[in-house]
């Protein structure tokens, strides 16, 4: 018989403090499995609640965990030609109706971000990016001595695509994070389509990288993948990550989808790392576990709604986020808020210049974590 979340929480003795204030009832079986997994995993990492990295607080879904367990055997002693890696590439290609050479795997999407700057930027060819945005591309360019055009977000904290487009003709690579980290804002398909076509007309040699790491957390209808543009334009590629909604950050798997020549340039200019057997198997299972991804999206949505409401009640502005993190205008330095939270064993996000004097990024943890965290936020902001 299905058990309600409230009954379950009571039964395992967590009391009323856990998970009840969100006003959202999970389907019974699922809630039990997730809550048990959460408790068993000792999720409060070494006593510090980690709201600073945008990983999934819930980890992979039950099917993926089971697949990992099943494949944890002596076979992990063999791995220089690891099982499942080719299978994973083939499965990703098939999911998106692409050939296998249109898929580039990496140990997380990070090496692909780094490799693309190495492949397409140089002393003469700048990187165009937003600020603040996910900073790996910019950091890589700065290490290489490549010039960086970093365009501030607009007043709504969305990526200013017209300003990026104007700078594209001098650029080797334009990086667009959609949805954007840290602001959580998103551009819909028409806007992205117009932007890509505009850049490709004005500067056909420039490469456009659309980073869709958070796509699985977006509200329905808010955005679409830029895959059709990847299929149309050789110079457009997208990256995805298994580190976010799939809950596999520790397994280090990401991928790019693009033209074979574009991907070959990336992989030949930087090491992509060796995807490992268990990681590939986990990603292979998670890739098409649509039920879990939808559950994860809804769970994140409920938690996000709860935390946004709490900040609004406290009188703070929060741009609506399509990710698993919020970028809150606290009107105080992020460092001050971070120190105050850390005194309560909660770690929130780093500085995001030029908004570090006002905004703080808070990654969304589990229900239980965010209820505790909101109580602490209320206290330190009072
Ligand atoms: C927008 C974005 N892209 C890429 C990454 C890199 O993630 P990974 O290397 O785990 O795939 C992150 C990590 O936080 C991110 O926020």
For residue range 28-79, list pLDDT tens digits in order. 344 444 444 444 454 546 789 999 999 999 999 999 999 999 999 888 888 7
Split at pLDDT 50, 70, 90, the class of 81 is confident
Q: What is the pLDDT of residue 76?
A: 86
Report the SS3 class of residue 36: helix
Rounded CA-CA distance 340/343 in Å is 5
Number of helical (H) and strand (E) elements in the chain, helices listed first: 14, 11
Q: Is the CB of 137 under 6 A from ligand 1?
A: no
CB of 111 sitting under 6 A from ligand 1:
no
**Do the Cβ atoms of 231 and 261 come closer than 8 Å?**
no
Q: Which residue has the higher pLDDT, 139 or 73?
A: 139
108 lines ligand 1 (CB under 6 A): yes
Mutate to test the pocket of ligand 1, among 241, 256, 352 (most ligand atoms within 8 A of CB): 241
State if residue 109 touches ligand 1 by the CB under 6 angstroms criterion: yes
Q: What pLDDT is recorded for position 83?
A: 82
Q: Is 181 in the pocket of ligand 1 (CB under 6 A)?
A: yes
Cα(241) to centroid of ligand 1, in Å? 7
pLDDT, residue 13, reads 30
Q: What is the pLDDT of residue 45?
A: 66
Q: Is the pLDDT of residue 304 over 70?
A: yes
Query: What is the atom index within ligand 1 of the atom nearest the CA of 254?
Result: 11
Does residue 16 surpass a pLDDT of 50? no
Average pLDDT over residues 250-262: 98
Mean pLDDT of the chain: 90
Could you tell me the pTM of the whole model? 0.89
Cα–Cα dist 111/353, whole Å: 23
Which has the higher per-residue pLDDT, 43 or 179? 179
Q: Is the peptide bond before 182 cis (omega within 30 degrees of 0)?
A: yes
- Nearby residues of 86 by Cβ (< 8 Å), 6 or more positions away: none
Domains and CATH numbers, the chain: 5-61+290-381 (3.90.1150.10), 67-287 (3.40.640.10)
Do the Cβ atoms of 282 and 64 come closer than 8 Å? yes
Say yes or no: CB of residue 107 within 6 Å of ligand 1: no
Q: How far is the CA of 7 from the centre of ligand 1 (A)?
A: 37
CB-facing half-sphere around the CA of 329: CA atoms within 13 A: 11
Question: Which residue's CA is minimally distant from atom 3 of ligand 1?
Answer: 213
Structure token digits, residue 78: 């063999």
Is the CB of 177 within 6 Å of ligand 1?
A: yes
Which of the four pLDDT bands, split at 50, 70 and 90, describes residue 351? very high
Minimum-distance ligand 1 atom for the alpha carbon of 253: 11
Q: Does 238 sit in the ligand 1 pocket, CB within 6 Å?
A: no
Q: Closest ligand 1 atom to the C-alpha of 133?
A: 1
Percent over 90 (pLDDT), the chain: 84
Higher pLDDT: 36 or 146? It is 146
Q: How far is the CA of 1 from the centre of ligand 1 (A)?
A: 40
Q: Is 52 in the pocket of ligand 1 (CB under 6 A)?
A: no
For 172, phi then psi, to 5°, come to: -85, -35
Nearest ligand 1 atom, CA 111:
9
Query: Higher model confidence: residue 79 or residue 160?
Result: 160
Q: Shortest CA distance to 88 belongs to which of 67, 69, 70, 72?
A: 67
Q: Can you tell me the mean pLDDT for 283-293?
A: 97
Q: Which of 326, 339, 320, 321 lies closest to 380, judged by CA?
A: 339
Q: Whose CA is nearest to atom 8 of ligand 1?
A: 108
């Amino acid at each position: 018989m299905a058990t309600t979340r409230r009954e379950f929480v009571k039964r395992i003795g967590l009391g009323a403090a856990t998970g009840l204030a969100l006003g959202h009832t999970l389907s019974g079986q699922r809630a039990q499995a997730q809550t048990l997994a959460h408790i068993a995993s000792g999720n409060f990492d070494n006593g510090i609640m980690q709201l600073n990295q945008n990983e999934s607080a819930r980890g992979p879904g039950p099917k993926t965990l089971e697949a990992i367990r099943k494949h944890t055997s002596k076979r992990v002693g063999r791995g220089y030609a690891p099982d499942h890696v080719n299978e994973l590439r083939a499965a990703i290609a098939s999911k998106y109706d692409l050939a296998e050479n249109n898929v580039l795997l990496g140990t997380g999407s990070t090496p692909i971000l780094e490799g693309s700057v190495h492949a397409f930027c140089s002393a003469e060819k700048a990187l165009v990016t937003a600020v603040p945005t996910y900073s790996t591309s910019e950091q890589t360019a700065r290490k290489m001595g490549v010039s960086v055009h970093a365009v501030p977000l607009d007043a709504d904290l969305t990526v200013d695509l017209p300003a990026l487009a104007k700078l594209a003709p001098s650029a080797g690579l334009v990086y667009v994070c959609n949805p954007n980290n840290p602001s959580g804002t998103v551009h819909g398909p028409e806007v992205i389509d117009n932007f890509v076509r505009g850049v490709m007309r004005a500067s056909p040699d420039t490469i456009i990288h659309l980073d869709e790491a958070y796509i699985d957390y977006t509200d329905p209808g808010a955005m679409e993948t830029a895959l059709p543009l990847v299929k149309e334009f050789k110079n457009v590629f997208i990256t995805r990550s298994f580190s976010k909604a799939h809950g596999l950050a520790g397994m280090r798997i990401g991928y790019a989808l693009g033209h074979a020549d574009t991907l070959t340039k990336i992989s030949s200019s930087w090491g992509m790392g060796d995807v490992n057997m268990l990681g590939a198997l986990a990603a292979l299972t998670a890739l098409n576990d649509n039920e879990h991804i939808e559950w994860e999206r809804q769970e994140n949505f409920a938690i996000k709604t709860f935390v946004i409401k709490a900040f609004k009640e406290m009188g703070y502005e929060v741009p609506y986020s399509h990710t698993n993190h919020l970028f809150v205008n606290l009107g105080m330095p992020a460092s001050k808020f971070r120190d105050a939270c850390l005194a309560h064993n909660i770690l929130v996000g780093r500085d995001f210049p030029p908004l570090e004097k006002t905004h703080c990024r808070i990654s969304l943890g589990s229900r239980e974590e965010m209820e505790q965290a909101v109580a602490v936020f209320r206290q330190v902001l009072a």
